[in-house]
Structure 1
Amino acid sequence: MTQMVDAHSTPGDAGADSPEVARLREELALVQRELAWVQANAEAREERLAALATADRECDQLAKILARHLSRPAAAPPTVGGVRGWLVRKLVPGLIPPPPPPPDPRLAQIEKSGLFDPAWYLRRYPDVATAGEHPTVHYYYLGGEEGRWAGPRFDTGFYRARYPDVRESGLHPLVHYLEVGKAEGRLTVQPAWEPSTQDAEA
């Protein structure tokens, strides 16, 4: 029957010179180093998770502030027109902003729809917030074509895929829903019981 080896025995102890004891000591030292490494990594991971949670809360707050700021009407920036303005904008980009486009009445229609959520849009698509784009303007001119969600209750890609006449109409998908689809009772999001179009393609 083998005796249990005390991990803390000293080289002068009986049996300390045996190869088995030496091997067990090496294994114990290795396990202790691995345990220390795991504990250090676990602590570092918890610190990173806490930092990420804080950053996530800060991003949510910034997205809300940005959405409120962007939804306020702003004074028109000074513009320089004509050839001189074009030349200055070409030579020194960002110095003088381009003249604002005429407002499209459909932007207001989207904003008042109750289906477009600017704060949610900026949280879901941080690239829009980073670029400093107005969420409604981005969604109307780019996001709809890219299939981005208007908010949690309107899946643009689903609506366009489910109803082929939307693309044929030339209307923005959310505008189409507001002007045509709503009266017809069309769906705005994938029903939970129905397989998604992505599942069908796989």
Structure 2
Amino acid sequence: MTVHPPEPDSTALMAELAAARAELAQLRTAQEQVAEREAELVAARDAAERIARTLSEALADRVRIDAAGRGRGSGLLKGRQKPVTRDEEAQLELIRGSELWDAAWYLRTYPDVIELGEDPALHFVRHPYYPVRHPSPRFDVRQYLIDHPDAVEQRINPLVHFLLTPESQGADAYPPKPR
């Protein structure tokens, strides 16, 4: 005689199916709420980044005006720095023309430069090594000096050294970001 397992209770199965469907509906609702919150956070982050860019550009414009000596009043930069040499002038032109230089970021990151009353680009040209200061969040001076010790040996500003190499062509960061 063959023994067959008892047939499942259809009422119990229907109740289990209904509970699973209800749980699935709750999970979908929760997923939609998380997606909505994520969209809100992304929008807030994007707005904050736009505001930060606008403020950085305004600060950079102010720095350029003050560095050029066209500012009114006391000015952001107090002009207590030594005269710029021809070599420094060439380096400044190269750095200021690079997307790897961000004057506003430099001043926000190193507020002592404002207190010193120095042009941020000239400060970076004159003091690139100690303490190590980055020209922007896209250029890691420490890593560059590790990878290119000849820049220290030749006493060349790391960003200037980089900008004078073929490696810099089309680069938007150092070290390059993996693609």
User: Residue 166 of structure 1 corresponds to which residue in structure 2?
Assistant: 151
- The 3 A distance-change label for structure 1 pair 115 and 61 is closer
User: Residue 56 of structure 1 corresponds to which residue in structure 2?
Assistant: 45
What do the CA deviations read for 1:65-106 (whole angstroms, capped 9, x no partner)? 11122111465479xxxxxxxxxxxxxxxxxxxx96845856
Displacement of 1:38 in angstroms is 1.6
Which structure exhibits the higher relative contact order, with contacts defined as CA atoms closer than 8 Å and separated by 6 or more residues?
2
Matched, 1:116 2:116: no
Displacement of 1:31 in angstroms is 0.8
Alignment of 1:31-180 (within 5 A): 31-71=20-60, 72-73=62-63, 75-76=73-74, 102-103=80-81, 108-109=92-93, 111-118=95-102, 137=120, 140=124, 145=132, 151=138, 156=141, 159-177=144-162
What do the CA deviations read for 1:12-37 (whole angstroms, capped 9, x no partner)? xxxxxx96234313422331232122
Structure 1's unaligned 5+ residue stretches are: 1-17, 79-98
Identity rate, percent = 22
Cα contact 1:159–1:187 (8 A) shared by 2: no
Displacement of 1:174 in angstroms is 0.7
User: Residue 188 of structure 1 corresponds to which residue in structure 2?
Assistant: 168
Cα contact 1:155–1:188 (8 A) shared by 2: no
What do the CA deviations read for 1:139-174 (whole angstroms, capped 9, x no partner)? 9368993667665xx664554333211133444311
Displacement of 1:114 in angstroms is 2.1
Q: Larger C-alpha radius of gyration, 1 or 2?
A: 1
Distance in 1 (CA, whole Å) between partners of 2:147 and 2:17 is 63
TM-score by length of 1: 0.47
- RMSD over equivalenced CA pairs, Å: 4.7
Displacement of 1:45 in angstroms is 1.8
Distance in 2 (CA, whole Å) between partners of 1:36 and 1:30 is 10
TM-score by length of 2: 0.52
Structure 2's unaligned 5+ residue stretches are: 1-6, 67-72, 114-118
Q: 1:21 is matched with which residue: 10, 17, 24?
A: 10
What do the CA deviations read for 1:93-133 (whole angstroms, capped 9, x no partner)? xxxxxx968458569446523233539x95xx9xx86x695
